[in-house]
Copies of this chain bind each other. A is one copy, B any other.
Amino acid sequence: MMIIMKANATPQQVEAVIAQVKSEGLNVHLSQGVEATIIGAIGETHSIPPDRFEGLDGVESVQRITQPYKLASRQFHPEDTRVTLDGFAVGGEEIAIIAGPCSVESRSQIVETALAVKEAGACALRGGVFKPRTSPYSFQGLGEEGLEFLAEARDRTGLPIVVEIMSQVQLELMARLVDVLQVGARNMQNFNLLRAIGEIRTPVLLKRGLSATVEELLMSAEYILSGGNRQVMLCERGIRTLETSTRNTTDINAIPVMKNLTHLPVLLDPSHSTGHADLVPAVARAAVAAGADGLIVEVHPDPAHAVSDGKQSLKPEKFAQMVDQVGQIAQVMGRRLAVVRGEHPSARQGWT
C-alpha cells in the first residue's frame, strides 16, 4: 500500500503516518521524492482498509498495490478451481449450462421444464422459491413447497438444482435440500449471509450486484472462502448503466478480467443481463467466446404466462437452438458442453 503525502505535508505529519503504519504491524518504506513523499506500507496489507490512513493529516491519497483479496486471487492459487457437481465439473474444460424458470410455479411446471432443458442439453436446473421482488405486492415465491417440487424435478431428471437463498434463516433448510446455493445480485453484499454460507460446504453461485465492481464481487467471494467454503462460482448478470434499451448491460469485459484475476469459475446469466429473450442467444454465444465457464439461463414452457420474468425467458425450443450454437462456439474454444451423469441420488439424505 502506498500512502502519498500532500506536497506541503510537514515532517511531523510524515512521522505520524509512519507511526500509524507500524502500529498496524506493517513495515515502512519511505521514499522522499521532489514531487511528493511516498510511504510504502509493506506486509499483510490485504486485511487493512485504506481508510486507516486516509484520515491522517497531510495524506493526499492511498493506493493499493496488492489486491485486497487473497483466497480468491489467482496470484496465490494459479490453478483453476473446479466445482464438481454430478459427473461434471464447472471451471475446467466443460461449459456448464444451467437452465430453468425464474420462479417455481407448480409441480408440473418445474418437472416439465426440467425434462425439456435436460433434453436440450442443460446440466443443472435453476428455479426460485424465495423471490427478491422490488414490490411487497408481487409474488414472493412458493417457499418450502417449491423446494419439494424442485426435488421432484431433480429425481425425475438427475439434474442438480440451483436455488437462490435470501436470508440466513433459510440456510439450514436450503443446505439440506439444494445442490447449489445461489446468492442473488441484491444480496451480494449481505455480509451476514455470506459469512453464514462460508460456514457450510454446499457449492455457491455468487451473482454480481447491480452496481458492484469486479473487485467488490471478489471481496464478497472472499467472505465465503475465508469461512472455509471453497466451492464458489461467480456469475456476471449485467450491471446498471446509462443504456435504457436493455434491462442491464452485460459486462462482457468482466469475463476475461475475472479469468485473469481469480481461479474461481465464471458464469454469465444472459437472461438478466439483457432482459429480452430475443437477445439471449447472441449474448450466450458471446459469453462462451469470451471465455466463460458456463451459463445460467431462464427457460419457461409458457413465458407469456410466467408469474415473473416472462419477457426474458426462452421457450424450450429456442433454448435448444441456443445450446446448439453455444456448443459450436465451445468447440472453437477447445471446450465441450458439460453432461450430467444423471444418477443423482434420489435417496438424498434429509429429504423424504
Q: Across the interface, do A138 and B42 meet the contact criterion of CB distance under 8 Å?
A: no
Q: Which of B54, B166, B244, B311 contacts A192 (CB 8 A)?
A: B166
Could you tell me which residues of chain A, from 270 to 325, have a CB within 8 Å of some CB in chain B? 273-274, 277-279, 282-283, 285-291, 303-313, 325
A39 to chain B: closest CB distance in Å? 10
Cross-chain contact B283 with A256 (CB below 8 angstroms):
yes
A241 to chain B, nearest CB (A): 5
Q: Is the CB of A47 within 8 A of B253?
A: no
Give the total of A residues in contact with B, Cβ under 8 Å. Answer: 111
Q: How many copies does the complex hold?
A: 4
For the A-B complex with A132-B189, A245-B254 known, give 9 more contacts whose Cβ atoms are closer than 8 Å: A4-B65, A52-B310, A55-B277, A135-B219, A136-B219, A166-B191, A166-B192, A210-B211, A239-B249
Which positions 173-217 of chain A face chain B at CB distance < 8 Å?
186-187, 189-193, 195, 210-211, 213-216
Q: Given the known A-B contacts A215-B245, A256-B283, A311-B55, are A190 and B191 also in contact in the complex, defined by CB atoms under 8 Å?
A: no
| Bound-complex Cα distance A29 to B38 (A) | 11
Residue numbers of A with Cβ under 8 A of B are 1-2, 4, 7, 16, 20, 27, 29, 31, 33-36, 38, 40, 42, 45-49, 51-52, 54-57, 60, 63, 65-66, 68-69, 75, 132-138, 166-169, 186-187, 189-193, 195, 210-211, 213-216, 219, 222-223, 226, 239-246, 249-257, 260-261, 273-274, 277-279, 282-283, 285-291, 303-313, 325, 328-329, 332
